[in-house]
Chain A
Amino acid sequence: MVFFWMVVVLLALLAYVILDGYDIGIGTLTLFERDGGTRRDMLDVVGNVWDGNESWLILLAMGLWAGFPDAYATALPALYLPLCLMLFALIFRGFAIEMALHRPGFDRIWGRLFGLGSLVAAFAQGVVFGGLVSGITVVNHQFAGGTWDFLGHGYPLLTGCATVLLYTWAGAAQLQAKLAGDARRRASRQVRLLTGPVVLASALSAGLLPLASNARLRLDGVDRWLPFGYGLLIAVGAFYTAWRWAGRSPKQVSFFAAVAVQIGGLLALICLYFPVLVPPSVTIYSAAAGRNTLVFLTVMIGVIGPGTVGYGIYAHWVFRSAPAVKPVAETPPAAPDRAALSPTN
C-alpha cells in the first residue's frame, strides 16, 4: 500500500515534469523569440494547457501531504526560500499568460513577464530538487536546519541551471512538433543547439551528486543496478534520438524522446534513493500515513484517476493542431482556417 502510493506520487511528479516542463520551457523560449507573430503562437500553444499541467503540481504536493505527511512537513520548510520563489514565479506566469492572451496590445509586456516567470520557475524548481537530494536535517519529525542550508556547497545552483536547460530543450522539442514553417525550423535548430548543454549539465549534476548528497546512495543488489543501468541507457539513447529527429517527420518523436530522458533520469534516481523520500533519514515507511488513509487514497485514485487522465488527453487532443482560431478579441482578425475548424480534423 505504501509502495503503491509512492508510485502514484512519483507518477504525479513525472507527469508534472513532463507537462509543465515543456510549457515552462516554451515560456523561457519566448524570451529569445524576436518575431511577434511566432511569440503569439507560442503563447497559444501554452495558453490552453498550462493550468491543466499545473494541476499535477497540486496533485503531487497533496499526494505527498496525504500519503507521507512527515515528508511534506519536513521538506517544505527546509526548502522554504526556493519554493516561495517558485510560487512567486508561477503566480506571475499564470497571470501574465492570461493577460497576454486576453489583452491584445499589452501582450508585449505580459509576454515578457510570462517568459521571465517561466525562467525563474524552472530555476527555482531545479534548486528545490538539488536541495532535496542533497539532504535535509530532520529532528523529531521536524525540519531542524537553517535558512540557507538548502544551498549546501552550491550544488542546487547547478541543478537549477540544468533544469532550466532541460525544460527549455523539452519546450523546443514540443514547439517543433506544434508549429509550422520557419518557426518550426527555428525550434528544431534550438533542439539541436541545446542538446549538448543539456547533456553536459545533466552529466555534471549526476556526477557531482555523490559528493553533494549526505544520503547513502545505493547500487547494491541487482534490483538496484540493473534498472539504474536501464535508466541511464534510456536517457542516453533518448538524448541522441531527440537530437537526430528534431525537425524531421514524424514531428512528435523529438518531444517523446525528451520525455524518455526524464523517465530514465527519474528511474535512475529512484534506484539510488529508494526507500528514502527526504534524504537522508525520512523513508516512505517512516513517513507514511495510517492504513485507513492509504486505503482511501488508493480507492480514490483507482476510481477517479482513469477519468482524469482520460479527459486530460481529450483536452490535449482538441488542441493538438496548431492554433487556428484566435481568441475572440484578436485584432486584426485572422482569416480562419476552415479545414482546422471542423471538429473531426
Chain B
Amino acid sequence: MASTSFLDLSRFQFATTAAFHMTFPALSVGLAIFLVICYACYCKTDNPIYLQMFRFWRKIFAVGFALGIVAGIVLTFELGLNWGGYSRAVGPVLGPIICLEALTAFFLEAGFIGILLYGEGRVSRKVTLVAACLVALGALLSTAWILAANSWMQTPTGYTEINGQFQPTSWYHVIFNPAFVWRFPHQVLAVLISAAWFIAAIGAYYLLKNRAAEFARKTMSIGLLGASLLLPIQLYVGDSTASYVSAVYQPAKVTAAEGNFANGNTGWNLIVIPNQSKQKDDYTLSIPHAGSVFVFHNFSGTTPVPGLSLFPKSMQPPVWPTFYGFKVMIFAAWGMFSVAFIGLVMRLRRRMFTERWFLRLVLWTMPVGVFATIAGWVVSESGRQPWLVNGKLLVSNSPSSLSTGELIATLVGFWVVYLVLFGAWVRHVVREVRRGPEELPTTSADTPPASPPRPSTQLAPVLVPLGSE
C-alpha cells in the first residue's frame, strides 16, 4: 500500500496529463470529420468556398492533431512509468486493446495525414478525399478503442484472475462490456459537439468582424446545425449512460455526483460544500423534488436520492470533483442546447447572421464543449475511486515504487512543458484566425495555379465581393 500523499501526487499527474491530452482529441476528431465534409462538398460542387474552408481548418487542425498525438504517447508511457502494479495486472486484457488502437488508428491517421496536409498537388482530389476520410476514420477508431479500454475498467467482464493478473476469457465481453455500449456514443457525440461549437464560434467571429462573410456563414451554419442535431441525442444518451451504466454498476459514482451524504433528500443539489471527513454537507442549495425527477424519472418528486452514507467511508469517491464535474457537464450541455435552439429559431426567421448579441454569445462560449467533455471525464474517473478496475483493483495497490522526488520533478516538468505548448497553441489558433482564410484560388487544385495562392495577411476583408452577394 502506497502512502496517501504519494498516491494523490500520482493521481494528480495522470489526471492533469490526461486532461491536457483530451483537449485536443475533443476538437480534432470533429475537425477531421468537418474537413471531410468541406472537401466532399468541394469535390461535388466545385465551389471554391469549400476549398477555402478546407484549407483554413486544415491549418487549425494540423497543430492540434500533432499535440494530441504527442500528449497521447505520454499517457501510454505513464501507465507503465507511474502505475507499474496496474500495468502488470491489466496488461493481458487492456494491452491488446491499446495495441489495436495503435495498429488500426494511429498508423491509419499517421499514414494519411501527410497526404491530407501536404499532398495537394502530388495526388488527385479523389486521393485527398480518401485520405481525409481515413484520417477521420482513424480518429473515430481511436475513440472506440480507448473507450473500450476505459469502460472495461468501469465494468470489467470477460476475464479471470490468475496470480494477481487479469487474463481474458472472452474478447467479445472484454470489448463490448456494459459501459462501452453507452459510453462510446456518449463520447463520440461529446467530441463532435465540442468541435461543432468551436467551428460555429469562429464563424461568428468573422461575422462580427464583417470579414469573409460567405466563408463565415457557411462555417457557422454547418457548426450550429451539427450541434443542434447532435445535442438532443446527447442529452438522451448521457442520461441513459447514467441510468443504465453508472446507476447499475457504480452506484457510488452516481451518489457522489448528486452530492448527498444522508438519504432522504428529494431535491436536486445545485451547490454543495461537502465535508467528507465528517460525512456531511456543510452547505447545500437544491431545487426541491427535482432530484427524484432527474435521477429516477419519477415525476411525483417523492423518491429520495440515496446518499453516500450507504457506502463505507473508505469506498466513497471524492465528492468535490465528482459533483462539480457532473454539474459543469450538465450545465454546459443544457446551455449549449438552449443557445443552439435559439439559433435555430433565428435561422428560420433569417436573423441569425445579423443579431450581434447572438454572435457574441456563440463566440464567447467557444470552449464550452471542450470543458464539458473534460468535466465528463472527471466524473467518470474520480467517480470510480477508490478503484482502478471497478470492484477488483484498488488504486492504492497500483503505483510503481518511485520516489516522491521523481514524481514531483516530472509533475513540474509536465506542467511547464504543457503550459508553454498550450500557450503556443492558443496563440497559433488566434493568429491563424486573425489572419483569416486565404483568398479563393481561381483555378482548382488539380491544375495548379501559376503561383500558389497567397495568404491574406492584412486585416481588411478579403472577400468583399463574395460577401456582399
Contacts and interface: CB of A to CB of B under 8 A. Distances in A.
Interface in B27-81: 55, 59, 62-63, 66-67, 69-74, 76-77, 79-81
24 contacts: A44-B118, A48-B115, A51-B113, A54-B73, A59-B102, A69-B88, A74-B84, A77-B401, A80-B406, A80-B410, A81-B409, A84-B413, A88-B413, A94-B69, A95-B63, A95-B70, A102-B428, A289-B165, A290-B168, A293-B95, A319-B114, A326-B452, A333-B454, A341-B448
Contact of B107 (A55, A75, A318): A55
A300 interface: yes
Contact of B92 (A66, A87, A90, A141): A66
B412 to A, nearest CB: 11
Interface in A13-61: 44, 47-49, 51-52, 54-55, 57-59, 61
Given A51-B66, A292-B168, A331 B455 contact: yes
Contacts of A327: 117-118
B20 to A, nearest CB: 10
A237 interface: no
A343 B121 CA distance: 8
- Interface size, A (range): 35 or more
A98 to B, nearest CB: 4
Contacts of B273: none
B63 A300 contact: no
A341 B445 CA distance: 11
Q: 8 shortest A-B CB distances, which residue pairs?
A: A69-B91, A66-B95, A48-B114, A76-B80, A77-B400, A289-B92, A52-B110, A73-B88
A65 interface: yes
Nearest to A12: B102
Contacts of A304: 100, 103-104
B123 interface: yes
B169 A65 contact: no
Interface in B167-192: 167-169, 171
A92 B80 CA distance: 21
Interface of A: 44, 47-49, 51-52, 54-55, 57-59, 61-63, 65-70, 72-77, 80-81, 83-84, 87-88, 90-95, 97-99, 102-103, 141-144, 146-147, 289-290, 292-293, 296-297, 300-301, 304-305, 308, 311-312, 314-315, 318-319, 324-331, 333-336, 338, 340-341, 343
Interface in B440-455: 448, 451-455
Nearest to B100: A300
Contact of A329 (B113, B403, B413, B455): B455
A67 B102 CA distance: 14
A58 B95 contact: no
B114 A59 contact: no
Instruction: Tell me the dominant secondary structure on chain B's binding face.
Output: helix
Nearest to A291: B167
B90 to A, nearest CB: 8
A19 to B, nearest CB: 11
A193 B312 CA distance: 69
B104 to A, nearest CB: 6
Interface in B150-180: 162, 165, 167-169, 171
Given A52-B111, A143-B84, A301 B95 contact: no
Contacts of A83: 77, 81
Contact of B91 (A72, A143, A318): A72
B165 A69 contact: yes
Contacts of B400: 73, 76-77, 80, 142-143
Given A76-B80, A293-B92, 14 more contacts: A69-B95, A76-B77, A77-B400, A80-B402, A81-B410, A90-B70, A91-B71, A91-B73, A142-B85, A289-B92, A292-B171, A304-B100, A318-B119, A331-B454
B124 interface: yes
Contacts of A44: 118
A93 B85 CA distance: 30
A338 to B, nearest CB: 8
B77 A315 contact: no
A160 B355 CA distance: 61
Contacts of A333: 451-452, 454
B118 A58 contact: no
B401 A144 contact: yes
B8 interface: no
B174 to A, nearest CB: 9
A176 B167 CA distance: 49
A245 B246 CA distance: 64
Given A73-B400, A91-B74, A327-B118, A311 B111 contact: yes
B464 interface: no
Contacts of A315: 110-112, 114-115
B465 interface: no
Given A80-B402, A102-B62, A289-B95, A95 B67 contact: yes
Nearest to B134: A311
B315 interface: no
Given A55-B110, A77-B84, A88-B417, A61 B77 contact: yes
B403 A312 contact: no
Contacts of A81: 406, 409-410
B73 A87 contact: yes
A208 to B, nearest CB: 27
Contacts of B431: 103
B194 interface: no
